[in-house]
Structure 1
């Protein structure tokens, strides 16, 4: 059975800059998301968007100060969270959704964007739900084959975890002791199906990993510091050559599966509880203030810096031109 990861964390074990960096990056992700939703409502973005509001702690906690540019990630359905935490510039992401040349795809794939940023270790996402689980085995094996200390993090939701690719991936990762960290972002709903309707395991999705000999645990994904510590331990294990780790991060999305989803399949009281009592940014902010790490004024200043950064990123993306017809042939090799 998967263990519950609950580490006693003393904020004094972190520097003030580290603690404020976690806060600022979570706020940046949320502000990016809120402003992108506004662009969608203004009719400037076509296609779907899957909001990650409510699960910022999973991405920031797992990536920031744990991964280097040379370490790999495969993001999930709400992957803008992870791409921002890995350092992809906001203007590049806004450019992707607006379809301008500023985007990482330089004008291709506006709407649902499957993009990559290899220089920052962002290797993208596969075309079907969960298929990144198989590809992640490849990058993890490449690091083992070359003898580097690179690690791969693969993100997926509880819905993807109910599909067969997870089991094939776990088998090979366990067999070859690959430097691969599985992060299941369990927000309880695969579109509109509750996790209890899609999994035969009775307790935790992380229990699947037990059968493949892979260490596993369940963590509060909305606690950015718990998330940081559990992934830090997994990264250290991987670098020592001790193989993969499976982490199930409990969280909840504040919005529907996609923008336009009425989200009427969730009990309003349950949703309100997650928003009011279990919000990762709200709770972390309260802890910083209660333990005297910083003042309210310092956090307001960080919020203002994020607002300015987001506004500049949107302007840069909007001012960038749309691609000409010749763009379709760039990168075409056959």
Structure 2
């Protein structure tokens, strides 16, 4: 049975710069999200979007201060959270959604999240839900064969965890002790199906890792510092050659599966409870002010700085041209 990851954490164990970096990353992710939704409502985005509002602490905590550019990530369905935490410029992500050449795909983004930034170790998602689980053992195996200390982190939701790819990936990673970290973002719903309706395992998804000999745990995914610590331990373990770790991070999304989803399958009081009591950004800000790490004025200044950065990123993405029509033939081999 997977154990709950618990650790006594004192803010004074971290520098002010590190703590404000965690806050700034979470705030940037949320503000990016809110502004992208606004652009969609204005009719400027042709595709669709799966909002990650509510789970910013999971991505910020796991990536910041833990992963380098050379470490690989495969992001999940709400992967803008992870891409921003890994350092992909906001203008590049906005450019992908707006379809301009500023995007990472130089205009072929089609308004969806599927893109990559190999220079920062962001290797994308995959064509079908969960298939990145298979690819992740490939990059981890490469690290082992070449003798580097590069780590692969693969993110996936509770919905993807119900697919066959997870088990094949866990078996390979456990067998060869690969430096891969599995982070299951359990927000309880795969589109509109509750996790209890899609999994035979009745306790925790992380329990499955036990059968493959992989250390595992369940953690509060909305606690940015707990997420940081549990992933830090997994990264160190992988670098020592001790193999994979499976982390089930519990969280909840504040919006529907996609923009336009009425989200009427979730009890209103349950959703409001997550927003009021478990919001990762609000709770972390309160903790920073309570411990007098930062003042309210400092947080306001950080947020104003982020607002300015986002406005500049959107301007840069919007002002970039659309791709030349001839580019439609790129990658066409038959």
Bin for the TM-score computed over the shorter chain = over 0.9
Superposed CA offset, 1:185-220 (max 9, x none): 000000000000001111100000000000000000
* Structure 2 residue aligned with 1:109: 109
Cα distance between partner residues in 1 of 2:143 and 2:282:
38
> Residues of 2 paired with 1:260 and 1:330: CA distance?
32
Q: What do the CA deviations read for 1:166-194 (whole angstroms, capped 9, x no partner)?
A: 00000000000000000000000000000
C-alpha distance in 1, partners of 2:84/2:113? 14
Give the Cα separation in 2 of the matches to 1:29 and 1:206: 26
Residue 302 of structure 2 aligns to a residue in which SS?
Answer: helix
Task: Please name the residue that 1:97 is paired with.
Answer: 97
Q: State the match for 2:118 in structure 1.
A: 118
Counterpart CA distance in 2 for 1:330 and 1:258 is: 29
C-alpha displacement at 1:325, in angstroms?
A: 1.0
Task: Tell whether 2:313 aligns with 1:304.
Answer: no
Gaps of 5+ in 1: none
TM-score (norm 2): 0.99
Q: How does 1:134-213 map to 2 (within 5 A)?
A: 134-213=134-213
Tell me if the contact between 2:80 and 2:113 (Cα under 8 Å) persists in the aligned partners.
Answer: no
Alpha carbons 2:76, 2:157 under 8 Å: kept: yes
Match of residue 221 from structure 2: 221
The structural deviation recorded for 1:258 is 0.1
In the TM superposition, what is the alpha-carbon distance from 1:332 to its structure 2 partner? 4.9
Q: Over residues 114-144 of structure 1, what are the superposed CA-to-partner deviations in whole Å (9 max), with x where a residue is unaligned? A: 1010000000111001000000000000000
1:329 Cα deviation from its structure 2 partner: 3.3
Q: Distance in 2 between matches of 1:99 and 1:126?
A: 19
- Which residue does the alignment assign to 1:60? 60
Distance 2:224 2:36 in 1: 23
CA distance in 2, matches of 1:49, 1:237: 35
Q: Distance in 2 between matches of 1:298 and 1:130?
A: 40
Alpha-carbon RMSD: 0.8
Structure 2: which 5+ runs fail to align?
none
Q: Which runs of 4+ in 1 moved over 2 A?
A: 328-334
> Does residue 285 in structure 1 map to residue 301 in structure 2?
no
Distance 1:102 1:333 in 2: 25
Q: Deviations over 1:98-126 (max 9, x none)?
A: 00000000110322231010000000111
Query: How many aligned positions are there?
Result: 334
